[in-house]
Structure 1
Amino acid sequence: MLEFLVCPLSKKPLRYEASTNELINEELGIAYAIIDGIPNMIPQAARTTHQNKKQEEMEQH
């Protein structure tokens, strides 16, 4: 059933990450938690998986 779910923001497929039990959007760098077998697809509840490239560049200088 997970293959039918897409990111509500980008409308692109999500990758399931078994180690964290999350659905990952690599492009946007966000992860949606799966709680009791139910994906929480609310964008405001998504976790950031990596920093924005601009933020990374600013922190390096």
Structure 2
Amino acid sequence: MSAVLDPALLAKLVCPVTRTPLRWDAERRELLSEAAGLAFPVRDGVPVLVVREARSING
């Protein structure tokens, strides 16, 4: 799996909870929503923007 997410795709993705932009964390291969405090996984290059699949980043 690539450690780089397509910038065009990233520009279109928003958090499903807050509708704010997501930030790519290449080290963990996750999309971060700092506004919601959630990290969404990317599996086989596909972002999984399902809240129950996200992990909390606030502790």
User: TM-score, length-normalised on structure 2?
Assistant: 0.81
Bigger relative contact order, structure 1 or 2 (CA pairs below 8 A, ≥6 apart): 2
Structure 2: tracts of 5 or more residues without a match: 1-8
Give the ranges of 4+ consecutive aligned residues of structure 1 lying more than 2 Å apart after TM superposition.
none
In structure 1, list runs of 5 or more residues that go unmatched: 52-61
Aligned-residue offset at 1:28: 1.4
Q: How many correspondences in the alignment? A: 51
Q: Which structure's CA Rg is the greater one?
A: 1
TM-score for the superposition, normalised by structure 1: 0.78
User: What's the RMSD between the two structures over aligned residues?
Assistant: 0.8
Decide which structure has greater helix share.
1
Q: Which residue of 2 aligns with 1:46?
A: 54
- Quick one: percent identity of the two aligned structures? 37
